[in-house]
Amino acid sequence: MNAIRGSFFLLIMVLLTLPSFAGGGSESDPDSDINESPEVSAPAETTVQDSQPNTNEDADQTVLDAETAEILFRLGLMPFQNRIPSEDFMLTTLGGNEQALADYRGKMVFLNFWATWCAPCRDEMPSMQVLYDELSDEGLEIVAVNVLETEDMVSAFVEENGFTYSVMLDSDGRVSLRYSVRAYPTTYIIDRAGNVIAVRQGFHTWSTPEMIDGFRKLLEQ
């Protein structure tokens, strides 16, 4: 008798669960999406998409060649699939002049977003100076964009450390927003034609012989 009752109870439970199996769960069921296999994107594509600056979607995009992508990757940078036309901007330099990104066309631009309160920024900026000293005569320009700090604060920090590359003031943060900066430091590499080709989020040492040789290869292309 107990076996019959157990079988009957099991049959009732199966019948009660049939609608959810047949219909895949109701739309209001909060757990209905949990069992579905999520669509998975390639990690590199996801990272690049999240880090790309806002650009004109109608602009021509040229696929980044494999050799350049490999060099960028070995330098610790995330290469973009396409060469993306950079958004121009104009900011005030520490010298009080108005400077546009487009003014550096013809050079490779190392575009770095930073702040004095950011310890990783302070740690990597001396290595940026070494890179600049080595390659500025070969066409590398470093543009360090300070975000949301006063000119006096930035000027004191730059003078104390003896940095000689270009420093600009993004006083209202509009340029960092346009370039989708979500962490400090963030560095974009812009080719001689003005196209964004790679990004690096977070601290990096730029002064090693391998770094200098890699950037020299990029400049020679």
Domain of 153, in residue numbers: 43-220
Residues 205, 109, 184, 73, Cα dihedral to 10°: -50
In a domain, 14, yes or no: no
**Residue 21 domain-assigned (yes or no):** no
Interatomic CA distance for residues 216 and 168, integer angstroms: 25
Does residue 4 form part of some domain? no
**pLDDT score, position 58:** 52
Asked if residue 134 is part of any domain, the answer here is yes
pLDDT of residue 122: 98
Residue 76 placed within a domain: yes
For the residues of 78-96, what is the DSSP string, one character each?
Answer: EEEEEEEEPPP-EEEETTS
Instruction: Tell me how many domains the chain contains.
Output: 1
Asked if the structure places residue 48 within a domain, the reply is yes
Q: What is the pLDDT along the chain (221 residues), one digit of tens a residue?
A: 444 344 333 333 333 333 332 223 333 333 333 233 333 223 333 334 445 665 555 544 589 999 999 999 999 999 999 999 999 999 999 989 999 999 999 999 999 999 999 999 999 999 999 999 999 999 999 999 999 999 999 999 999 999 999 999 999 999 999 999 999 999 999 999 999 999 999 999 999 999 999 999 999 98
In a domain, 75, yes or no: yes
Measured distance CA(214)–CA(208) in Å, rounded: 10
Note whether residue 2 is domain-resident.
Answer: no
The domain spanning residue 119 has which CATH number? 3.40.30.10
